[in-house]
Amino acid sequence: MTVPVSLPAGFEWGFATAAYQIEGAVDEGGRGKSIWDKFCHLQPTRTKGANGDVACDHYHRYEEDFDLLSTYGAQAYRFSIAWSRIIPLGGRNDPVNESGIAFYNRLIDSLLARGITPWITLYHWDLPQELHDRYGGWLNVTESQLDFERYAMVCYERFGDRVKNWITFNEPWIVSIFGYATGGNAPGRSSTNEQCTEGNTATEPWIVGKALIMSHARAVALYNKLFRPSHHGRIGISLNGDYYEPWDSHDERDKAAAERRMEFHIGWFANPIFLAQDYPPCMREQLGERLPKFSPSDFALLREAEVDFYGMNYYTSQFSRHREQPALETDFIGNVDELQENCEGISVGEKSGVHWLRSSPDLFRKHLTRVYNLYGKPIYITENGCPCPGEDRMRCKEAVNDTYRVNYFKDHLDAVAKAICFDGTVVKGYFAWSLLDNLEWSDGYEVRFGVTYVDYDTLKRTPKKSAMLLKQILNERIQVDV
C-alpha cells in the first residue's frame, strides 16, 4: 500500500466563492449596478437565461453558509467584495455606501467568530457599470487604475484591521479575453462574435490587460506603503492558466508552441507583476504595436508593488500544436491549436461535467513547479475544482454522491504534496472551488462546481460527499507541527 505524501504543517485550506455568483440582493443595501447585471439581462440572452439577481441569496443567508464552512472544517474562506456595493458609482470622487461596508463587516466578523480566516478578493469581474459608461472602464488605462486604487484604499481602511489576506484581481486573463476578445463575458465586446455590437478583438484585450496590471500595481504599492506597517498583512493576485504539453512530444515546434501558449496565458501578467519585466518576447513579436508599452514610471511602480504570494487558479491542462500559417490579427493564444488529445490519441485526462475540463493532476504538479521556478513566490492555490460528469442533469439525491469530485480533490492534493516534497515547490494553501453551486457566469446555473448542492427553486443547501471528505483528506496529509 502506497503511503500518501504529506503536506507541510501549517498548510492552510478552505473554500472559495465570488460576490456576483452567490450574493443576489442586487437592488438592496445601496448596491450599484455592475457590468454583469447588464450583461445577464441582455436579449437575446448570453447566459442561458440566468442572472445573479437572487443567485444563492448569500446576502441574506451568509450565517447558514458559514455554518456549513464550520461543519466542513474549513480554516479559511476566500470571497470577493462587490465594488458597486462599496462605491455604487465606482469612481474615486463618488460616495461610499455605508450599508455595503456594514454588510462586509458582518461577513468578516461572522467568519472570525467561527475561527475562519477571511481572504478577500477585491475584484472578481464585476466592474461598476457606471465606470464602463463613464469612460469605457478598463479600456481607459489611466482613469480605471486611479478609481481602483481609491476603491482598494477604502477596503484596506475599513476592513484591514481584521483582514490580513488580500487578492487584488481574480483571473485578469479571463477579464481581458472573455470580456473584450471573445465577448462571452461582461461587458461582451468583440469583433469576432456575431452577438456583439461593439469591440475590437485585435486591440482591446491588450489595452485592458495593461489597465489591470497597473491597477493591481497601484493597489499593492498603496498597501505596502500605507497599510502593511500597521496591518501586517499579505497581498497577491490570482492568475488562471492551464498547463500545456506538446501535441507531438518529438516535434520541437510543438514544444515551442506549448511554452508560447503558457507565455500568452500566464507570462502576459506574471512577467510584469512578479518580475517587473516587459511582456514575454513572443507576445511582442506577434502583437507588435498592438501590445501597449510600459513607461519608465510604469516599471518604477511595478517594482514598488512587491507581492507576497502567487495565487493560482488551476482546473485542467491541454496539448498545444504549432500552426504553419501566420497568426491572425485576432489571435490571442500564441498562434497554436489547443487540443485535449495528443498525436497518439491519448487524452490529457478523464472527462468531467464540462467540455473544457479534464482531470490532469500529474500536469498540475508540473504546472506548480514551472510557475514557482519562474516567479519564485510561495503559491496559494486559490481555485481548484470540477463538476462531475452528468451532474447538471442530476437531482439532489444523486448529485450529493459526487465520487468524481472526491477523486479529483484527492488526486490534485496528491500532486500538490509531490510538488512540495519532490520538486521543492513552495505551496502554502489550497482553496476548493466552490463552497456552493452557483451562477457559473455565461453557463448560467447548468454547471455545478459546488461542494454544496443548491436547489435553485427553494435555495436549500445540501452538503455533497466531497464537502465532508475534504477535511479528512487534508487531515490525513497535513503534518502535525510539534
Closest C-alpha among 153, 142, 107, 145 to residue 127: 145
Question: Is 90 exceeded by the pLDDT of residue 4?
Answer: no
Residue (of 141, 149, 159) closest to 205 by Cα position: 141
Residue 462, SS3?
A: strand
What would the pLDDT profile of 162-213 be if each residue is shown by its tens digit? Answer: 999 999 999 999 999 999 999 999 999 999 999 999 999 999 999 999 999 9
Is pLDDT above 60 for 235? yes
Residue 482 has pLDDT above 60, yes or no: no
| Structure confidence by residue, pLDDT tens digits, 260-299 | 999 999 999 999 999 999 999 999 999 999 999 999 999 9
Taking alpha carbons only, the member of 269, 98, 241, 90 closest to residue 169 is 269
Residue-level pLDDT at 1: 47
Total domain count, the chain: 1
Closest CA to 125 of 183, 165, 82: 82
- What pLDDT is recorded for position 270? 99
CB 448 within 8 A of CB 353: yes
By residue range, what is the domain housing residue 281?
12-477
| 39-68: average pLDDT | 98
pLDDT band for position 219 (50/70/90)? very high
Q: CA-based Rg of the chain, rounded to a whole angstrom?
A: 21
Distance CA 155, CA 163 (A): 10
Q: Is the pLDDT confidence value at 409 over 70?
A: yes
Q: Quick check: is 3 in a domain?
A: no
- Residue 7: inside a domain: no
Predicted pLDDT at 9 = 95
**Residue 111: inside a domain:** yes
**Average model confidence (pLDDT) across the chain:** 97
The torsion defined by the Cα of 474, 115, 119 and 122, in degrees rounded to 10, comes to: 150
Q: Give CA–CA dist 261/280, Å, rounded.
A: 11
Longest dimension (CA), the chain: 63
Domain with residue 18: its CATH number is: 3.20.20.80
Q: For 369-391, what is the mean pLDDT? A: 98
Per-residue pLDDT tens for 14-23?
Answer: 999 999 999 9
Is 4 within the bounds of a domain?
no
Residue 2 included in any domain: no
Catalytic residues: 171, 383
5 found inside a domain: no
Say what the pLDDT of residue 407 is: 98
pLDDT band at 3 (very low <50, low <70, confident <90, very high): low
